[in-house]
């Protein structure tokens, strides 16, 4: 690549840690129980709308439904218990160290709650320079990207965002940030029509980001 990238921003769930399958199962069960959808359809629609906070997903799926706040509460409580049991792989940890050795800064941008993300990073000793999560009026996408730009003093054109959802790809494209798709939640083919203004770069393991940066 001709661009010198100086900051790699990682999504967390489904990207650095393998939580999306469990979250999708939980959502599928709740949508079946409270809204009468089949488990399979609920799980599918959860994944299709992932990449934004769950309460926003519910407003997309069931606008202004009075059941939504209770279901969101059930989901977030169940999600936390699964989330805190996770950890990053040693290979992923080594990759982040390798990026720092190359003088490339690293950050996490997540839709999990801000304090939970920060505590997860602390407990697992994840060697990123900064981690940000969801707070009121501070979500993954423009809010996080502008904060990271100001915090590191690195322009969008020198950032990479690595994410596993179609919404991640869309948010990066909106800000003209180079996007790398972590396939698994979605396939390379599903990412293709969403990634615009750049060639589609896709990885299956976080360690592969090192090879992409060398191209």
Examine the pLDDT at 93 and tell me if it is beyond 90: yes
Task: Report whether pLDDT(2) > 90.
Answer: no
Average pLDDT over residues 153-167: 97
- Stretch 18-26: mean pLDDT, rounded? 89
Q: Please state, in angstroms and rounded to a whole number, the distance separating the CA atoms of residues 13 and 202.
A: 17
- Whether the per-residue pLDDT at 8 is higher than 60: the answer is yes
Between residues 19 and 181, the one the model is more confident about:
181
> Which pLDDT score, from 0 to 100, does residue 82 have?
74
What's the token pair of residue 160? 């990479």
State mean pLDDT over 21-26: 91
State the DSSP code for 197. Answer: S
Q: pLDDT by residue (tens digit) across 125-152?
A: 999 999 999 999 999 999 999 999 999 9
Residue 105 C-alpha from the chain's centroid: 18
Q: pTM, whole model, 2 decimals?
A: 0.87
Residue-wise pLDDT for 25-73, tens only, equals: 999 999 999 999 999 999 999 999 998 899 999 999 999 999 999 999 9
| Reported confidence tier of residue 19, pLDDT bands at 50, 70, 90 | confident
Q: Report the distance separating Cα 159 and Cα 196, nearest Å.
A: 16
pLDDT averaged over every residue in the chain: 94
Question: So what's the pLDDT on residue 16?
Answer: 96
**For residues 20 and 90, which has the higher predicted lDDT (pLDDT)?**
90
Instruction: For the chain, give the percent of residues with pLDDT over 90.
Output: 85
73 by Cβ neighbours in 10 Å (0-12 / 13-18 / 19+) ranks as: exposed
Of the candidates 5, 10, 4, 3, the residue with the CA atom closest to the CA atom of residue 129: 10
pLDDT of residue 60: 97
Better-predicted residue by pLDDT, 42 or 21: 42
Residue 1: pLDDT band with limits 50, 70, 90: low
pLDDT of 20 > 90? The answer is no
Phi-psi region of 112 (alpha: psi -120 to 50; beta: other; left: phi over 0): beta
């Amino acid at each position: 690549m001709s661009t010198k990238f100086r900051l790699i921003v990682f999504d967390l769930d489904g990207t650095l840690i393998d939580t999306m399958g469990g979250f999708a199962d939980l959502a599928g069960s709740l949508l079946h129980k409270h809204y009468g959808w089949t488990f399979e359809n609920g799980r599918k629609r959860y994944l299709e709308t992932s990449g934004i906070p769950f309460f926003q997903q519910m407003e997309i799926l069931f606008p202004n439904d009075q059941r939504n706040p209770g279901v969101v509460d059930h989901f977030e409580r169940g999600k936390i218990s699964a989330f805190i049991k996770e950890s990053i792989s040693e290979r992923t940890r080594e990759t982040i160290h390798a990026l720092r050795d190359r003088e490339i800064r690293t950050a996490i941008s997540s839709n999990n709650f801000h304090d939970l993300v920060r505590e997860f990073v602390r407990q697992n000793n994840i060697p990123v320079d900064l981690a940000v999560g969801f707070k009121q009026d501070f979500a993954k996408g423009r809010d996080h990207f502008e904060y990271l730009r100001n915090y590191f003093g690195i322009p969008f054109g020198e950032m990479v965002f690595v994410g596993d959802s179609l919404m991640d790809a869309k948010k990066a494209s909106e800000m003209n940030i180079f996007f790398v798709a972590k396939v698994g939640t979605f396939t390379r083919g599903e990412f293709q029509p969403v990634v615009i203004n750049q060639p589609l770069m896709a990885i299956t393991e976080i360690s592969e980001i090192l090879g992409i940066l060398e191209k």
